[in-house]
Structure 1
Amino acid sequence: MGNHVIPTGGEGGDIEVVDLKGALEERYLAYALSTITQRALPDARDGMKPVHRRILFAMRQLRLDPGSAFKKCARVVGDVIGKYHPHGDQSVYDALVRLAQDFAQRWPMVEGQGNFGNVDGDNAAAMRYTEARMTEVARLMLEGLDEDAVDFRDTYDGSESEPIVLPAAFPNLLANGSQGIAVGMATSIPPHNVAEILDAALHLVDNPQATTDDILQFVPGPDFPTGGVIVEPKHMIAEAYRTGRGGFRVQARWHREETGRGTWVAVVTEIPYLVPKSRLIEKLAELVLEKKVPILADVRDESADDIRIVLEPRSRGISAELLMQSLFKLSELEARVPLNMNVLVKGRVPQVLGLAPALREWLHHRREVVVRRARFRLAAIEKRLEVLSGFLIAYLNIDEVIRIVREEDDPKAELMRRFDLTEVQADAILNIRLRSLAKLEEIAIRKEHASLEQEKAGIEALLGSERRQWTKVKSEIAAVRKVFAPETALGKRRSDFGEASEVPLADLAEAFVEREPLTVVVSEKGWIRALKGHVQDVAGLTFKTGDSLKTAFFAETTSKLLVLSSNGRVFTLDASKLPGGRGQGEPIRLGIDLEEAADIIAVVTYKPGAKRLIIGTDGRGFVVPEDDLIASTRKGRQVLNVDGTVLAKLFVPVQGDTVAIVGENRKLLLFPIGQVAELGRGKGVRLQRYKDGGVADAKTFTLAEGLTWTDSSGRTWTVTELLEWFGNRADAGRLPPKGFPRSNRFSG
């Protein structure tokens, strides 16, 4: 086989054996940290990620201030990737474009010229076609950068320097928000109204111990560039801001528009934040084509510069509220904007902050900027005062100064020795122009000297007092708030607050199912099926061996069915989900959680607002509203309380003013329906008294119209003279009139 030779590294070096697990952990951790700090999470102080900070700094270096001439975006991107941000040009351009989009940024930092994309989700034109310059907001972010307001660091290649953080006179973190996905963590901060944020900040300066709950009086919730209605409950908003984690339900803004002759359309004018309109229209069109919301007939996008989505109902009798609630459930007309305030505290440590702590980070940064700018100004004043003091000495000794300059070999050294000047003062004197030796110039210098001394005293007082520093911060915040006040077009709130209107479950179910007639067939052994259309003759239907027809009734695909079992529970079935009529159906038990020992007593169609008389085998019962019987789970709802000896037996519709009840002892009793208690659940009251046996049948009717029954031959009988059977609830009753069926049932 020959000898195994261990290969060596290049240039004959040995291979270094490393532990794979350790090496991977080390490298992955380095990658994760780089992603978290250098790419995905914003700094709590200026609310920016490095790419956005570098874009603004590059634009400043290119002198693209508000009001200046536009420059090609390719020029800006080139400077950013060449000097500060060695990443892909397209990713940098995408970040620049986003800073210019007024539907993505509540307060854009870049003013764009050309195609910068749109709310439909279309991309911007290539960077060689578009131009940009900074907005007033960006100017506020950079204000003080030349005054040592923040620290700088070397760029990636050491050839330039860049700011570590921006001075940020604008509360960008909360005002514009941020979205980002790092390794093992993410951030999602929605935009807010600047005036509200600044009011909260002023309150925090005056009340340093204030909590998030205290400042919610100023910040009720986000303010999205695309508007919309925030329907998140107030207590949930408060909890989200308290913990820094949560979300906000946002619905599209819409109104009903009459189109004449009783017809109408729903018009959507604002859509939720970060939802591309084209994708939304596509989804709505899909719902129409697939008939997932049968009450929606058509969708039209009539948008120009503003948004206008027209939703046409299938018929004018439909409620606009029902149509919109159906669409909120199935499309992005309602969206959830998450809140995860994960930010870099002091630019280094990732941390999830609540609203008050996040604002504090910005305020402490602003105070530091105020102090640093004051120190920078103080140094400049001291340097100028030094020069001015030298000038005054020169003016007082002007003849001697001229002589020294004319006659001495080293006038600078002689001036410093003769008048005890510093080098800076001597240089300044030697650089004086002859025309400046006029008497008026001396007066101007004395005036400037006095003014600077006064300013110096003010700055020293500021630097020596924390209270004065906070006062200065407050005055700067107040100046910014004036620009973005709620009454200005720029500062006006765009998103409103509302409550999510709840449409009844039955109505909502109707919206999602196309309305078609059905005939529901139930067998004696509890099998169910639905025949298409209203079938009058069900005599020809086949059943399994030993089974037969129990009941058949008309319904619609939008109907709900109520199923009463012998254990007193009522279950709910959707007619649209019943098995078709081609086979023999399926056992009702498959759709509900029914005890093995319990039997199915009745299946009826649910009618909103209607009532039922529910009766047990012992003749006790009560009236129950059908709305109270609807169950949202397979377990159903316990309605009649029964024990082992008593079971549920009758489920009678309440139609009229009188109850007719007949016992197994063939005694008939009539009494007013008002004597029966109305309950949601219970054992009920005694309806008829028996010595032995129990109830056989019952019905409700209108006394003035008479009592009707059908005999075994199918003939209908009506008796109007009923006084001798009329009594009170819990009486025993009397034998029924002639012709009453031997089965003791009202239907033969």
Structure 2
Amino acid sequence: MPDDLKTLHPGPDGGRIHDAPLAAALSERYLAYAMSTIVSRSLPDVRDGLKPVHRRLLWAMQQLKLDPAGGFKKCARVVGDVIGKYHPHGDASVYEALVRLAQDFAARYPLVEGQGNFGNIDGDNAAAMRYTEAKLTEVAKALLEGIEDDATDFRATYDGEEQEPIVLPAAFPNLLANGANGIAVGMATSIPPHNAGELCSAALELLRIEHPANARDARPATTAELLRHVPGPDFPTGGVLVESAESILSAYETGRGGFRLRAKWERESLKNGTWQIVVTEIPYQVGKSRLIEQIAELMEAKKLPLLADIRDESTDVVRMVLEPRVRTVEPAVLMESLFRLTALESRIPLNMNVLTADRTPRVLGLRDVLRHWLDHREVVLVRRSKHRLAAIQRRLEVLDGYLIVFLNLDEVIRIVREEDHPKEALIRTFELTDIQAEAILNMRLRALRKLEEMELRREHKKLTTEGKALQRLLDSEPARWRRIGEEIEATREKFGSGSLGDRRTLQSEAPVAALIDESAFVEREPITVILSEKGWLRAVKGHLAADAELRFKEGDSLRLSLHAETSDRICFLASNGRSYTVKADSLPRGRGDGQPVRLTIDLGNEDEVVAAFLYREGLRFLLASGSGRGFIARSEDLLAEKRTGKQALVVEAPDRLVACVDAVGDSVAAIGENRKLLVFPLEQVPQMTRGRGVSLQSFKDGQLSDIKVFNRAEGLTWVLGGRTRTETALAGWRGNRGGAGKMPPNGFPKSNRFSG
């Protein structure tokens, strides 16, 4: 008995139960689900650029004869045919796919022409499918061209009652022209739309380089050569592409990257020297109504102080009017603030993850995508040519039989009138094939005219010539590529110009990373930043006095406070040695308890904030750990862009950062838990951007309690009992960094801290 059958035993319903480890069973089933999602739902085919639902929609519409020149049919009829015959899923998802193919603001080259309400750029949904109608467009017709000529393979549908195409002939470069988006299991795809005329030009360039007249000159085309024809995506909603040439080249070379897309705007002059900005195109897939809401919310939160008002004056053409608060502000500065804070600038990702001809998911570059499309077109050309050649041969066989009739008309009539089995007699007498004999017997009497014989001879000659040309095409690879080039040239002429084909997205130079200070976009007002011992963070309006009464939760107290303005950036140093930067205007406001600091920065539960300071260029700080190690860090090196912060002082548990003090002075005073004080020159401490630091003070027992930087000439000060004491005779405690130190002067705080 095989090993895999030893675990089979009878079940309660008469079947057999197979015992298997749960992990193995789940892995097998999840893998099957993942592959089904990848192949049959989420990723497009590199050859026709379609997912199965879109392919089935176009095929069903062709079967319903919804040609571009014909009439419309209700979308409910189309959706019913699709889910009933080809796509066993919900009608809502199928109708959504149909609607997207018809939206001229979503699809660069719509494959469906809609009649009725198919939604709008504001984000409104389409009407129900019982109210809308649809038919195919010329682009869809190009995708389907030749499908009746055995151009592609078919397979049985899910119920085995119908046949559906595995891929469409795709005389149109649909994958890149219309793009695709999808999320599978463990992978995703995101391909922005492009200009079809430019894609055809790039494909012709690829043919010229890789299939030249002289085969010895053939070589692989480079991405840079193709980008001379495809400068970047071309979105249906227009916009301005602001991405460097190097970034675009890298994205198309690897198949991964992204593009920054900005709204198109212009300055419109008004009377009395005033002006306003008019936005006429917005980034791809950005809902206009939601964009206006976002800008209004930022104005309400006082994060757009340069903007006074926004109005939507759009009709079927986008027109958003932006009014500046003052006429002296530059329009570019105002728009820069909007680009930074709103969806008027969006990043469109590029991830050309597609299914190749062997149904394998792969991330392809621009050259490989075009190469796969061209290879598919060659397969289609060969299959259509063979299909046509077979049809010609069948017709020539019949025509040869007809011509025999005209040459032996009397004998044929005699056989038909007198023989009991005329078919066999004709075959025997004139050495005909079964097909020829059947065709002769089915001839009408009117076809026996002399004029008809001349027509048959002309048709025979024409088909013979066409057959020879097809055979030469099949026998010559260069001839096939020339024919494919002619077909692509025809596609470029048809879809590469006019209102549909002209480029809509403009190209612009990549903007400078930091044109202006972000603080210019924040309304400046004084605040006091307050952090409690238990980690509650808030900002109170105004600069509170040091002795101001503050309220905290029961059992909580003040850890630190500092005066700032809403335009400032605040750096927090935590016990884990990391620095975090927070914009002051983003802190929770009001006189309540605020919110936990861990909601603002990515701080672990076992870590706590040690110090905070206002970011200014040129500041220096001394960082020190409990083990007595540290270094001097610049404020620029402590500035962190991410919520997760930046590692400054490297510490390993249980060690931790215990101090971050201003490095202003010429001497350092360090005191440990063992009440040993050490004074040494500041110049002995190196400046670093990141690391464990150097030894500042050594301890036999305990760790560092406090550290301070001061000017030797002014003496060392500390706070005791509310009064400040100064010690200038420090010769007994002076030494080199890394020393142990001596007992502090009389009157030094028992807390071992300079601040008392």
What is the TM-score of this pair, normalised by structure 2? 0.70
Matched, 1:251 2:277: no
Matched, 1:431 2:442: yes
Give the counterpart letter for 2:222 in structure 1. Answer: T
Using the alignment, how far apart are the partners of 1:431 and 1:575 within structure 2?
92
User: What secondary structure sits across from 1:179 in the alignment?
Assistant: strand
CA contact (8 A) 1:322 1:508 kept: no
TM-superposed CA distance for 1:485, in Å, is: 2.8
CA contact (8 A) 2:180 2:190 kept: yes
Using the alignment, how far apart are the partners of 1:368 and 1:437 within structure 2?
42
The match for 1:591 is 614
CA contact (8 A) 1:241 1:355 kept: yes
Map 1:440-589 → 2, pairs under 5 A:
440-486=451-497, 488-502=498-512, 507-511=517-521, 513-515=522-524
- My pick for the range that moved more, 230-239 or 310-319, is 310-319
User: What secondary structure sits across from 1:298 in the alignment?
Assistant: strand
User: What secondary structure sits across from 2:501 in the alignment?
Assistant: coil
Matched, 1:80 2:82: yes
Using the alignment, how far apart are the partners of 1:495 and 1:543 within structure 2?
57
CA contact (8 A) 2:569 2:584 kept: yes
CA contact (8 A) 1:573 1:591 kept: no
TM-superposed CA distance for 1:276, in Å, is: 1.2
The match for 2:316 is 305
TM-superposed CA distance for 1:202, in Å, is: 0.7
TM-superposed CA distance for 1:448, in Å, is: 0.8
Using the alignment, how far apart are the partners of 1:514 and 1:190 within structure 2?
37
CA contact (8 A) 1:44 1:347 kept: no
> Pick from 276, 294, 298: which aligns with 2:287?
276
> Pick from 24, 27, 32: which aligns with 2:26?
24
> Pick from 368, 381, 393: which aligns with 1:370?
381
User: What secondary structure sits across from 1:310 in the alignment?
Assistant: strand
Larger Rg: 1
Matched, 1:285 2:287: no
Q: Deviations over 1:542-584 (max 9, x none)?
A: 899xxxxxxxxx99866999xxxxxxxxxx999979999x9xx
User: What secondary structure sits across from 2:23 in the alignment?
Assistant: helix
Q: CA separation of 1:556/1:179 partners in 2, compared to 1, >3 Å: closer, same or farther?
A: closer
Matched, 1:43 2:45: yes
> Pick from 379, 384, 400: which aligns with 2:411?
400
Give the counterpart letter for 2:19 in structure 1. Answer: V
CA contact (8 A) 1:40 1:49 kept: yes
Using the alignment, how far apart are the partners of 2:342 and 2:515 within structure 1?
18
> Pick from 346, 354, 361: which aligns with 2:365?
354
CA contact (8 A) 1:322 1:503 kept: no
Using the alignment, how far apart are the partners of 2:622 and 2:487 within structure 1?
76
> Pick from 398, 419, 430: which aligns with 2:430?
419
Using the alignment, how far apart are the partners of 1:490 and 1:579 within structure 2?
50
What is the TM-score of this pair, normalised by structure 1? 0.71
> Pick from 191, 196, 205: which aligns with 2:207?
205
TM-superposed CA distance for 1:244, in Å, is: 0.3
Using the alignment, how far apart are the partners of 1:518 and 1:86 within structure 2?
61
The match for 1:190 is 192
CA contact (8 A) 2:40 2:51 kept: yes
The match for 1:33 is 35
Matched, 1:383 2:394: yes
Give the counterpart letter for 2:509 in structure 1. Answer: E
> Pick from 121, 124, 139: which aligns with 2:123?
121
Gaps of 5+ in 1: 1-6, 520-529, 545-553, 562-571, 599-628, 636-640, 646-694, 696-748
The match for 2:646 is none
Gaps of 5+ in 2: 1-8, 211-219, 529-538, 550-562, 571-580, 592-609, 625-633, 641-662, 668-712, 714-756
TM-superposed CA distance for 1:19, in Å, is: 1.2
Q: CA separation of 1:257/1:443 partners in 2, compared to 1, >3 Å: closer, same or farther?
A: same
CA contact (8 A) 1:265 1:312 kept: yes
The match for 1:135 is 137
Give the counterpart letter for 1:128 in structure 2. Answer: R
Using the alignment, how far apart are the partners of 2:394 and 2:320 within structure 1?
64
Map 1:668-747 → 2, pairs under 5 A:
none
Give the counterpart letter for 1:376 in structure 2. Answer: H
Q: Deviations over 1:132-159 (max 9, x none)?
A: 0000000000000110000111111111
Q: CA separation of 1:444/1:508 partners in 2, compared to 1, >3 Å: closer, same or farther?
A: same
User: What secondary structure sits across from 2:322 in the alignment?
Assistant: strand
User: What secondary structure sits across from 2:509 in the alignment?
Assistant: coil
TM-superposed CA distance for 1:501, in Å, is: 3.5
TM-superposed CA distance for 1:436, in Å, is: 1.3
TM-superposed CA distance for 1:515, in Å, is: 4.4
Matched, 1:235 2:246: yes
CA contact (8 A) 1:325 1:503 kept: no
Q: Deviations over 1:416-470 (max 9, x none)?
A: 1111111111111111111111111111111111111111110000000001110
Using the alignment, how far apart are the partners of 1:471 and 1:579 within structure 2?
68
CA contact (8 A) 2:108 2:177 kept: yes
Using the alignment, how far apart are the partners of 2:512 and 2:464 within structure 1?
69
User: What secondary structure sits across from 2:621 in the alignment?
Assistant: coil
CA contact (8 A) 1:591 1:634 kept: no
Q: CA separation of 1:630/1:510 partners in 2, compared to 1, >3 Å: closer, same or farther?
A: farther
User: What secondary structure sits across from 1:365 in the alignment?
Assistant: helix
Q: CA separation of 1:630/1:196 partners in 2, compared to 1, >3 Å: closer, same or farther?
A: farther
TM-superposed CA distance for 1:590, in Å, is: 2.8
Report how many residues are paired.
573
- My pick for the range that moved more, 205-214 or 409-418, is 205-214
TM-superposed CA distance for 1:514, in Å, is: 1.4
Q: Deviations over 1:70-126 (max 9, x none)?
A: 000000001101111111111000000000000110000000000001111111111
The match for 2:152 is 150
Q: CA separation of 1:417/1:79 partners in 2, compared to 1, >3 Å: closer, same or farther?
A: same
CA contact (8 A) 2:71 2:135 kept: yes
Give the counterpart letter for 1:74 in structure 2. Answer: A
CA contact (8 A) 2:178 2:194 kept: yes
Give the counterpart letter for 1:311 in structure 2. Answer: L
The match for 2:112 is 110
Using the alignment, how far apart are the partners of 1:266 and 1:334 within structure 2?
16
TM-superposed CA distance for 1:10, in Å, is: 3.6
TM-superposed CA distance for 1:206, in Å, is: 1.6
Map 1:210-225 → 2, pairs under 5 A:
210-225=221-236
Using the alignment, how far apart are the partners of 1:588 and 1:411 within structure 2?
109
Using the alignment, how far apart are the partners of 2:540 and 2:164 within structure 1?
76
CA contact (8 A) 2:103 2:110 kept: yes
Using the alignment, how far apart are the partners of 2:476 and 2:372 within structure 1?
20
The match for 1:173 is 175
Seq. identity, %: 60
CA contact (8 A) 1:285 1:299 kept: yes
Using the alignment, how far apart are the partners of 1:141 and 1:362 within structure 2?
12
Give the counterpart letter for 1:495 in structure 2. Answer: T
TM-superposed CA distance for 1:633, in Å, is: 5.4
User: What secondary structure sits across from 2:121 in the alignment?
Assistant: coil
User: What secondary structure sits across from 2:123 in the alignment?
Assistant: coil
User: What secondary structure sits across from 2:500 in the alignment?
Assistant: coil
CA contact (8 A) 2:564 2:614 kept: no
CA contact (8 A) 1:322 1:507 kept: no
TM-superposed CA distance for 1:205, in Å, is: 1.1
